Every structure is written in C-alpha cells, then in structure tokens.
C-alpha cells in the first residue's frame, strides 16, 4: 500500500488532475481574494520576523527561529537568512506531501515559499539597520571593511557596511531597546508575537497556514498520535532549544515564553474571528421565528418540544447557530414584531459540519461559500412568504 501511495506522485494522471483543479480555481473571484489575503498576511509576518526577531536574536518556536540559529552560526546576512528559510520550507513541504498527503494544498505551498522573498523586500524597502545602527565617518574602518576584515567596536559588535558603502556602528541591541546593554528584548518579543499572531489568524481564517512549524506539528500529530496543541508545543520547544547554540539560558527561556504567548494570542484572535452565537428561543410564536431564521437569515435551526417546569405549558424551543450581526438583526426583528420570547445566547468558536458562509449583496442576491472555501455560487434572495398562524400546528 505504501508503494502504491508513493507511486501516484510519479504518474502523469495525478499531476494532470492537480493542474485541472488549479486551472478551475483560477476562474473564481475568491481565489484571487484569498491570494491577496495570503500575500498581505505574509507581508505582515515577514515584517515581524525581519524587524523584531532577527535584530534581537530571539528564537521563538518557528522555522524563522531555526533559520536565525543556522544563519548566526555560518555568519550570514539577510539574503542568506531568507535563502535558509526558503530551503527549510521546501524540505518540509516535500515531507508534508509524502508523509501527510495533499490536504495542505497550494495555499500552504504559496505562503511558505514567499516568506523568504518578502523578508528581502523589507530589507530593500527599509533596512532594519536604520533602526539599530548609525552612520559614522571613519576612513580607516571603511578601508578595513572593504578589504574583507572584521572590525569590532568597544562593545564587541562588528562594524557593518550598508549598500551605499557607508560604515554602520551599532547603537541599540534591538529595534525596541533603548540602547546597548539595556536588555529590553521583551518588548521585541511582544511586538513580534502580536504581528505574527495577526498574520496567522488571517491565514487560518481562509484555510491557509504559514507552513514551516505547522507542517512539522502535523507530522508529529499524525505519527505520534498527539493532539495538535501538544504537537505544536513539542515542535516549537525543540526549535527554541536549538538556540542554546548561539544564546544564553535567559534568551532561550524568553523564546519559550514567546512560543507559549504566541499560541495564546492566536487562539484569542481565531476564536474571535470564528465566534458564532448559539441561540435558544422559547416562544408561543415559534413558527414565525423559525420562518424568519430560515427565509431571512438563511440559517438552519433545530426544533425541540419542551415543557415549562413552573407553568407545565408545552412549547417549541428553537436552537440555531448565527453570527453576532445576525443575532442583533434577530433581536431587532423580534422587538419590532413585539414577539415575547425567552432567549438565551452563548458564544461558540468551534463548529464541525456544514456551515454556510454568506453575505448579502446590495442587489439582494446572496453569495454562498461552502465549508472548504472552494466554490462560490450566487443564489437569489428567497421571496418572503406571508406568515399564516393557521398553519401553525401548535
């Protein structure tokens, strides 16, 4: 079975099928919207890595952190760092296709491959040395650097040459520090985590990921039979511990704390983006409320027969999952219709099964997305039917 699984990657039918799926996706508007979201999200993530992770040498549990370790050991620059990030992500993507399958799809491939080039773009737009170094006029140091020599300042930091051939002297440990030896690396950690978490939350929202650590965590999840949270922790902690090769114990602990905070912040943002309202309504006018939920909000609902413990009266309870905006619309409609009901609502952030993502257009038509964000179809708004109380069996 394993041989047959591997053989599919060497058949023309398999690759022709993938090409057909990709060409079909190119014809949808949502494909280009998702592409814009992924590029913008990764552009923000690249800024977090370049301006806060690299200058402070923080090793947070990510492929970027591992790349910093390797780049520091070999004495590379920003270009070398971006090349290392790209190579590691390529290896992990190949492992993902062989060990996990094709479920990651083109989105993970795209986001993983553009991180390195986007870091180079930030380096061209506004180098991080503009925030941590200053230009000095010293012909002797300039001549030594042009001859390939390494010259250190009084604090043990090397002088650098920028693209214009000017000598740069380091004046700050990191972007957020107040100067040399101030030890304000925690501020860089907080800024990095916030920016990266926003990036990850947007990507998770459109069924994408940053690649790298996500791929490694899924491999751990599949073969060690651990849940995803534990898998991410193990993968992130292993990468953080590699920082012992270039950093002291304090910096490694800070990196571990950053990995933990990153997970918490991502959960906060993703829970907020995916939050739905689980609404329960008990009313004598349950059929009228059901009619509004199904035909106006275009949501499903469940009906249960209930009996009041105090009054011993029979009622129909309606349960439905709707967005916060739809819940507000429902309450407003019930108020306008003067419907008396006992209503409870709670937040729900994890939904498995069919959940239609739709939005109403100005012309009254409805755009419907399926659970996998694959196809988009437009359906006309249903005609509103007059409610007839005689049709209510209760």
Give the domain ranges of the chain: 2-128+181-273, 129-174, 275-391
8 A C-beta contact, residue 278 and residue 349: no
Phi-psi region of 165 (alpha: psi -120 to 50; beta: other; left: phi over 0): left
**Of 336 and 63, which is predicted with more confidence?**
336
Distance CA 377, CA 366 (A): 8
- pLDDT grade, residue 237 (50/70/90)? confident
Mean pLDDT value of segment 110-125: 86
Kindly report whether the global pTM for this prediction surpasses the value 0.85: no
Q: What are phi and psi of 368, to 5 degrees?
A: -115, 130
Closest by CA to 341, choosing from 268, 274, 292, 270, is: 292
The rounded percent of the chain whose pLDDT value lies above 90 is 14
Residue 384 has pLDDT above 50, yes or no: no
For residue 371, the model assigns a pLDDT of: 42
Residue 374 has pLDDT above 60, yes or no: no
Which of the 8 DSSP states describes residue 158? B
List Cβ neighbours of 335 (8 Å cut-off, separation of 6 or more). none
Q: β-strand 357-360 against 314-322: which pairing, if any? A: unpaired
Q: Which of 12-21, 218-227, 292-301 has the highest mean pLDDT?
A: 292-301
42-44-46-52 Cα dihedral, nearest 10 degrees = -150
Closest by CA to 111, choosing from 159, 44, 50, is: 44
For residue 13, the model assigns a pLDDT of: 78
8 A C-beta contact, residue 373 and residue 34: yes
* Residue in the structure block whose two tokens are 């799926």: 21
**Of 249 and 171, which is predicted with more confidence?**
171
Q: Which of 145-154, 232-241, 246-255, 266-275 has the highest mean pLDDT?
A: 145-154
**Of 128 and 106, which is predicted with more confidence?**
128
CA angle 274–276–277, rounded 5-degree value: 165
pLDDT in tens, 132-169: 888 888 888 888 888 888 888 877 788 888 888 888 88
Which of the 8 DSSP states describes residue 53? I
Average pLDDT, the chain: 77
8 A C-beta contact, residue 204 and residue 270: yes
**Of 145 and 82, which is predicted with more confidence?**
145
Residue 383 has pLDDT above 50, yes or no: no
254-257-263-265 Cα dihedral, nearest 10 degrees = -80
Partnered with residue 359 across adjacent β-strands are 367
pLDDT in tens, 177-209: 877 776 667 788 888 888 887 887 787 777 677
Lowest mean pLDDT among 56-60, 102-106, 314-318: 102-106
* Residue in the structure block whose two tokens are 């209510």: 392
User: CATH topology for 275-391?
Assistant: Alpha-Beta Plaits (3.30.70)
For residue 381, the model assigns a pLDDT of: 45
For residue 187, the model assigns a pLDDT of: 83
How many residues appear in the chain? 394
Residue 229 has pLDDT above 70, yes or no: no
Q: What are phi and psi of 210, to 5 degrees?
A: -85, -5
Our measurement of the distance from residue 154's CA atom to the centroid of its chain's CA atoms, rounded to an integer in Å, reads 42
8 A C-beta contact, residue 54 and residue 81: yes
Q: Which tokens is 91 given? A: 């290896």
Q: What are phi and psi of 138, to 5 degrees?
A: -145, 100
Q: Which of 23-37, 263-277, 295-309 has the highest mean pLDDT?
A: 295-309
Give me the helices (H) in the chain, please: 2-7, 12-26, 29-48, 54-56, 63-74, 78-99, 105-125, 129-132, 139-146, 185-205, 213-224, 228-241, 249-274, 286-295, 324-336
For residue 234, the model assigns a pLDDT of: 75
pLDDT in tens, 89-100: 788 877 777 776
Closest by CA to 175, choosing from 125, 135, 128, 136, is: 128
Mean pLDDT value of segment 3-23: 69
- pLDDT grade, residue 320 (50/70/90)? very high
For residue 328, the model assigns a pLDDT of: 92
- pLDDT grade, residue 62 (50/70/90)? low
């Amino acid at each position: 079975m394993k041989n047959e699984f591997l053989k599919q990657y060497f058949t023309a039918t398999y690759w022709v099928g993938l090409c057909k799926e990709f060409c079909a996706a190119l014809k949808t508007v949502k494909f280009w919207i998702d592409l814009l979201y992924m590029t913008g999200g990764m552009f923000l993530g690249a800024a977090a890595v370049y301006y806060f992770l690299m200058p402070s040498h923080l090793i947070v549990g990510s492929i970027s952190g591992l790349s910093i370790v390797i780049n520091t050991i070999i004495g590379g620059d920003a270009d070398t760092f971006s090349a290392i990030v790209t190579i590691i992500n390529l290896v992990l993507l190949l492992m993902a296709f062989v060990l996990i399958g094709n479920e990651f799809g083109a989105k993970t491939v795209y986001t993983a491959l553009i991180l390195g080039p986007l870091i180079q773009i930030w380096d061209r737009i506004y180098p991080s040395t503009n925030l941590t170094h200053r230009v000095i006029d010293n012909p002797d140091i300039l001549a030594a650097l042009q001859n390939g020599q390494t010259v250190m300042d009084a604090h043990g930091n090397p002088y650098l040459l920028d693209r214009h051939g000017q000598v740069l002297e380091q004046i700050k440990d990191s972007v957020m520090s107040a100067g040399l030896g101030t030890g304000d690396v925690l501020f860089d950690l907080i800024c990095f985590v916030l920016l990266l978490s926003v990036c990850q939350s947007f990507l998770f929202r459109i069924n994408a990921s940053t690649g790298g650590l996500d791929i490694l965590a899924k491999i751990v999840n599949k073969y060690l039979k651990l849940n995803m949270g534990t898998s991410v922790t193990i993968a992130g902690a292993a990468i953080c511990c590699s920082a012992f090769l270039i950093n002291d114990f304090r910096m490694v602990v800070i990196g571990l704390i950053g990995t933990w905070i990153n997970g918490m912040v991502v959960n906060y943002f993703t829970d907020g983006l995916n939050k739905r309202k689980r609404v329960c309504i008990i009313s004598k006018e349950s059929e009228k409320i059901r009619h509004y939920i199904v035909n106006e909000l275009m949501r499903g609902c469940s009906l249960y027969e209930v009996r009041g413990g105090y009054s011993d009266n029979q009622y129909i309870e309606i349960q439905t999952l709707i967005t916060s905006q739809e819940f507000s619309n429902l309450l407003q409609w019930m108020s306008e219709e003067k419907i008396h009901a006992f209503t409870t609502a709670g937040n729900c952030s994890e939904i498995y099964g069919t959940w239609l993502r739709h939005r109403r257009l100005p012309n009254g038509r409805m755009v419907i997305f399926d659970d996998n964000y694959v196809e988009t179809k437009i359906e006309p708004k249903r005609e509103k039917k007059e409610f007839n109380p005689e049709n209510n069996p209760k």
